[in-house]
Chain A
């Protein structure tokens, strides 16, 4: 597996603001995903971050709310835009190589007040 670093690890944000979360991997990976875990809930896929092209979003998630960049095979960002308290969640970057297994970063804990 690889070392997957996320920044920030934790933040408290004001309603209506936006926050960008960074995910850095110490080796090149073919797949990068962004997940969300709301309080008491399971892990929900937001989108697949595609290198050099637009991300592929899951049902219920849109680019205007969660813009994603992936400029290369080791780095991606997720922005949570115009935040509301409902966006308070853990946001998780995950990566994979073979398509069989994915690994997670330590997560970014967001609280919107």
Chain B
């Protein structure tokens, strides 16, 4: 049973436009959510996170939105750049347990 889901395996966006990556979770005990970016042949890189007491967190071009009632979060990248092309993993934690989604491959087209 997948506790963290990313239903879009891939997404293509034009350079300069907004990329929206979605993530859903099932466990209401999760209280912290994170996004990681992974390039081929590299380890995942932490991007941005949000606590369950907030509904939005922004860092430069990256914004994460959390809808607790829907158990849904999303990552917005504006404007998208070709260097953003990577696999994005959503993760959720409750205590020291981190659960990852299957990832979404983002392709930003020049």
Count, A-B residue pairs, CB within 8 A: 47
Q: Cβ of B100 and Cβ of A106 under 8 Å apart?
A: no
Closest A residue to B32 using CB positions: A100
Q: Cβ of A42 and Cβ of B89 under 8 Å apart?
A: yes
A82 at the A/B interface (Cβ < 8 Å)?
A: no
A29 at the A/B interface (Cβ < 8 Å)?
A: no
Interface-located stretch among B55-63, B66-74, B76-84, B91-99: B91-99
Specify which chain B residues have a CB less than 8 angstroms from the CB of A107 in the assembled complex.
42-43
Q: Is the interface of B mostly helix, strand, loop or mixed?
A: strand
Specify which chain B residues have a CB less than 8 angstroms from the CB of A102 in the assembled complex.
46, 98
Contact among A31, A100, A106 for B42, CB-based, below 8 A: A106
- Known A41-B102, A42-B89, A42-B100; judge A99-B46 contact (CB<8 A): no
Most buried by A among B41, B44, B93, B99: B44
A48 at the A/B interface (Cβ < 8 Å)?
A: yes
Specify which chain A residues have a CB less than 8 angstroms from the CB of B49 in the assembled complex.
100-101
- Known A1-B46, A107-B43; judge A99-B89 contact (CB<8 A): no
Q: How far is the CB of B80 from chain A (nearest CB, A)?
A: 23
Interface string of B40-53 (1 = CB under 8 A from A): 01111110010100
20 A-B pairs whose Cβ atoms sit less than 8 Å apart in the complex: A42-B100, A43-B89, A43-B91, A43-B100, A45-B99, A92-B43, A92-B44, A99-B93, A100-B51, A100-B93, A101-B34, A101-B46, A102-B46, A102-B98, A104-B43, A104-B44, A104-B45, A105-B43, A107-B42, A107-B43
A interface, CB within 8 angstroms of B: 1, 4, 6, 31, 33, 41-45, 48, 92, 96, 99-107, 109
Beyond A42-B89, A48-B96: 7 further Cβ-contacts under 8 Å?
A: A33-B98, A43-B44, A45-B99, A99-B96, A100-B93, A101-B46, A104-B46
